[in-house]
Amino acid sequence: MAGFIGHMRSMLSARTVARQVFLLQVAIVVLLVVAAMVALVLQSRNDSEREARTRSLAVAQTFASAPGLEEALAGSDPSAVLQPRAEQARAGSEVAFIVVMTPDGVRYTHPDPDQIGRRYIGTIAPAAAGGIVRETVTGTLGPSIRAVVPVVGQNGEVIALVAAGVTSDQVSGIVEAQLPLLFGTAAGALALTTGGTALVSRRLMRQTHGLGPAEMTRMYDHHDAVLHSVREGVLILDGEQRLVLANDEARRLLDLAPDAPGRAALDLGIDPDMARLLDSGRPAADEVHVAGDRLLVVNQRPTDRDGGPPGTVVTLRDTTELQALTGRVDIARERLRLLYDAGMRIGTTLDVVRTAQELADFAVPRFADFVTVDLADPVVLGEEPAGRGADMRRVAFRGIRDDSPLYPTGSLISFVPSTPQAAGFGTGKVVMEADMAALSGWQQQDPANARRLLSYGIHSMMAAPLRARGVVMGVATFWRAEKPEPFEEDDQSLAEELVARAAVSVDNARRYTREHTMAVTLQRSLLPRALPQQTAVDVAHRYLPAQAGAGGVGGVGGDWFDVIPLPGARIALVVGDVVGHGLHAAATMGRLRTAVHNFANLDLPPDELLWHLDELVARIDEDEGEHESEGEDGSAYEDGSGAGGDGGAVAQVTGATCLYAIYDPGSRLCTLARAGHLGPVLVRPDGSAEFLRIPGGPPLGLGGLPFETVELELPEGSTLVLYTDGLVEDRGRDIDEGLELLRRAVAHPGRSPEETCRAALECLLPGRPRDDVAVLVARTRVLDTDHTAAWEVRSAPSAVAPVRAEATRTLERWGLHEEAFVTELILSELVTNAIRYGTGPIRVRLIRDRVLICEVSDGSSTAPHLRRAADSDEGGRGLFLVAQFAERWGTRYTAEGKVIWTEQIIPGQMPGRG
């Protein structure tokens, strides 16, 4: 109910003209329908009463003249005869009662038998006198409309009276029976008229756009004010292209006659081209037409696109004054476009020479016919320009022709002070020679070449210094030959903007070149300069730094490799990777490589070495984390780039990986362990290749998990391919695809390590690598029996002499007679110590490699210690003597115990050491 009331309130408070008209029409229709209903009901009631009087009189007269009535009245019991007849007649005639009575009013019949014999209620005197009575009386059956007529006998006397009547309820029932039809007709009429009113109101709503009277008045006032005060001409034409409306500005611009409204477009007396445009009715956007001495921009649009009336609306804008500025605006727009495009096309790489060439390529022919770029030599190398002289090297040239007399690229030019180039380089300001033929001093650089330039047609030049961050790095010179216009002040400002943007890119490239050179130098100094001489494996290697892209990402990184000779003619092969690029990654790589060398000198097994390396990386991360927290002072380089090429952040080492392998050519055993690194490829002598399954430990620095080793026996001539992830990872392919490509590339029998290394790089890196790459390929060798000798030694002092004798005979067979004495001394001491302090089994092995190696192994893990014995000591001098006679000595531990080894230099051979 509340919602209905609210709806009615909102309807009654409608402000739009359409709604007000709708409500008014609905109210009128409702009033008309209600009045018609009332009139119809009253008319129906009157007609029903008239019909009731007529029917009651007719029924009474008919019954009074019915045959047999007189005989029934003369009978002994008139009521018994007449009552059934009266009731039957009453039912057939649809009246409420038929009463037969005596002339004085005593009833013979009545619908209610109890009323028979009683007196009739109503007027009967006129009827008893032979007349007719019609009246409305309230009787025993209620209010009724009745008629009383006489029954005349044969003798002409009134012998009885007959009354017939219809009750008021019956009359009302007749009217009520007609009400549904009346109300239905009224509802239909109301719905029909309301629907028609709604349609009319809807159309009125569209035409008035839902506006109220006040709004329409205000809109008209505003429309009239705008139409006649706006500084733009407005014309409205109907569907037949006749002028309907023209505002004051349109009349002024077109010089229209006062009676112009109502004329056709072709009869308005305006320019024929514009008249044809208006007559065509076609859409037009910013078309320029002449109207007398004016230039008008004409726009024409149809008015019937959104259900509006047919026709067109035309707007006219006077551009006579603006036309003079159009040329300058176009030039300014073109220069803005030039600067925008320059920002997109200059500085796409971090290469100084390439950036300078991009500047030259961009400016020809859009700004100049020829462009040269000269830079100080230190800038090309990434350094600051040194000295005050104007000695520059031409690094870029571009022209509309290639036969110009300008100095070629690569030339070192010493500009004299009178030249614009020297002046611009010295002051940092643009210097312009609008008319080179005036010979204002620029020709003193090379008078002969100056004449060639003028005869070639070059007539104007402008030298713009490349200045960024307060440093002038060179000069860009713009030359014009075919363009007849000389350079002017507007060109000078454009050149300043253009060269300023290019100078920032050149300076960024210079700074990157400097840092990249420093990083490459550091990287090269930290990587192995030359692999050590050894006989365990044949080795080939490659290191490729990542190439810098447009964003400066790339350069040297933390990938590294190493080959470390170990005691017993063994060799350690190492490949590692430190996350990131730049100086920090290279320095961290050097620290890890040094640590691996130190741990390798301790002759640690691979898993233990990686464990120590993991501890070291964790400590490095802790130290650098503390350093970073202490240095949160916001310090950075002047340009805001931060410290170094890594963007200023102190990069931690966590994420470094390493693969460490030890190969023994005597036993052909290879022991490997890895920390988060990709597994190596093993290429067997028959050319089959597979990835070795090595348990993958976590990257260095994470800690918590132990490293595991894998030991396998390799056939002679097997090839191990160790690499970093930059070789197999690429944005365009999955890493598994890269690994499979590597396996197929190296799977070939009979290849040398160098050929295998080259094949892997050619297959996986055909272009410039996005990440640095390290590859180490090692083909295994085996020490044959002619270079080794081994004996089992009994755990008894008497076994020392036979060992010395066998060793002497072996050395004589190898041609090492001069080494026999020292070797006997060393073996005597080491074997005696093993028998005295160690446990069995005891073994002795001699190896003739680039040095003479003696190894004594036992089952004890107790290591001997070198000490200097006092004069009063009876022992303790054995190891001291061994250390004096041997070049090197040491101890390594095995699963069975330990091995004490010594190395002696063989005369005429250079030992290979790590």
Give residue 474's pLDDT: 92
Confidence of residue 648 (pLDDT cuts 50, 70, 90): very low
Please tell me which of 222-226, 287-291, 660-664 the model is most confident about, judged by mean pLDDT: 660-664
Q: Which amino acid is at 391?
A: D
Of 328, 196, 166, 298, the C-alpha closest to 237 is 298
440-455 pLDDT tens trace: 889 998 999 999 999 9
pLDDT at residue 471 greater than cutoff 80: yes
Q: Cα 326 to the chain's mean position, in Å?
A: 40
- CA dist 702 and 722 (Å) reads 23
Please tell me which of 375-384, 477-486, 517-526 the model is most confident about, judged by mean pLDDT: 477-486
Q: Is there a contact between 673 and 618 (Cβ–Cβ < 8 Å)?
A: no
Among the residue ranges 370-384, 528-542, 632-646, 764-778, the one predicted with the least confidence is 632-646
663: which 2 tokens?
A: 């190969």
Count of C-beta atoms within a 10 Å radius of residue 440: 13
Q: What is the DSSP string of 667-697?
A: TTEEEEEEEBPPPPEEE-TTS-EEE----EE
> Residue 586: which residues within 8 A CB-CB, separation 6 or more?
519, 522, 523, 526, 556, 557, 558
Give residue 642's pLDDT: 37
pLDDT at residue 660 greater than cutoff 70: yes
pLDDT, greater one: 387 or 818: 818
Continuous segment of H or E residues that includes residue 71: helix 69-74
506: which 2 tokens?
A: 């050149």
- CA dist 492 and 489 (Å) reads 5
Confidence of residue 867 (pLDDT cuts 50, 70, 90): low
Q: If you ran DSSP here, which 8-state letter would residue 703 be given?
A: -
Of 710, 739, 714, the C-alpha closest to 727 is 739
Mean pLDDT of 105-109: 87
Half-sphere exposure of 524 (CA within 13 A, CB side): 8
- CA dist 600 and 576 (Å) reads 15
Which residue is it, tokens 């004085």? 104
Among the residue ranges 240-254, 430-444, 698-712, the one predicted with the least confidence is 240-254
> Residue 152: which residues within 8 A CB-CB, separation 6 or more?
130, 158, 159
Among the residue ranges 317-326, 340-349, 357-366, 766-775, the one predicted with the least confidence is 317-326
Give residue 449's pLDDT: 92
Give residue 552's pLDDT: 40
Please tell me which of 314-323, 667-676, 802-811 the model is most confident about, judged by mean pLDDT: 667-676
Give residue 868's pLDDT: 57
- CA dist 236 and 227 (Å) reads 11
Confidence of residue 850 (pLDDT cuts 50, 70, 90): confident
Among the residue ranges 25-39, 373-387, 406-420, 495-509, the one predicted with the least confidence is 25-39
Could you report how far apart the first and last alpha carbons of the chain are, in Å?
Answer: 102
Mean pLDDT of 672-688: 93
pLDDT at residue 747 greater than cutoff 90: yes
Give residue 206's pLDDT: 64
- CA dist 217 and 237 (Å) reads 24
Helix (H, G, I), strand (E, B), or coil: what is residue 411? coil
- Residues for the chain: how many in total? 914
Please tell me which of 205-214, 324-333, 561-570, 902-911 the model is most confident about, judged by mean pLDDT: 561-570
pLDDT, greater one: 352 or 637: 352
pLDDT at residue 713 greater than cutoff 90: yes
Is the bond preceding 365 in cis, omega lying within 30 degrees of 0? Answer: yes
Please tell me which of 140-154, 246-260, 457-471, 888-902 the model is most confident about, judged by mean pLDDT: 457-471
Q: Cα-flanking dihedrals φ and ψ of residue 400, to 5°?
A: -75, -20
**Ramachandran region, residue 255 (left: φ > 0; alpha: ψ -120 to 50; beta: rest):** left
Q: If you ran DSSP here, which 8-state letter would residue 279 be given?
A: H
524: which 2 tokens?
A: 């090269």
pLDDT at residue 500 greater than cutoff 70: yes
Percentage of residues of the chain with pLDDT beyond 70: 82
Half-sphere exposure of 340 (CA within 13 A, CB side): 6
Among the residue ranges 316-330, 701-715, 788-802, the one predicted with the least confidence is 316-330
Q: Is there a contact between 103 and 64 (Cβ–Cβ < 8 Å)?
A: no
Give residue 651's pLDDT: 46
Which residue is it, tokens 């009134």? 158
Among the residue ranges 6-15, 25-34, 318-327, 605-614, the one predicted with the least confidence is 6-15
Q: What is the DSSP string of 463-494?
A: EEEEEETTEEEEEEEEEESSS-SPP-HHHHHH
> Residue 741: which residues within 8 A CB-CB, separation 6 or more?
728, 763, 764
Give residue 521's pLDDT: 72
Mean pLDDT of 300-322: 77
Q: Which amino acid is at 779?
A: R
Among the residue ranges 36-50, 125-139, 143-157, 880-894, the one predicted with the least confidence is 36-50
Q: Cα-flanking dihedrals φ and ψ of residue 166, to 5°?
A: -120, 130
Give residue 39's pLDDT: 74
Is the bond preceding 841 in cis, omega lying within 30 degrees of 0? Answer: yes
Give residue 873's pLDDT: 43
Mean pLDDT of 603-622: 87
Mean pLDDT of 217-222: 66
> Residue 420: which residues within 8 A CB-CB, separation 6 or more?
431, 432, 433, 442, 461, 462, 463, 477
Instruction: Tell me what the pLDDT averaged over the chain comes to.
Output: 80
Q: Is there a contact between 868 and 821 (Cβ–Cβ < 8 Å)?
A: no
Give residue 374's pLDDT: 93
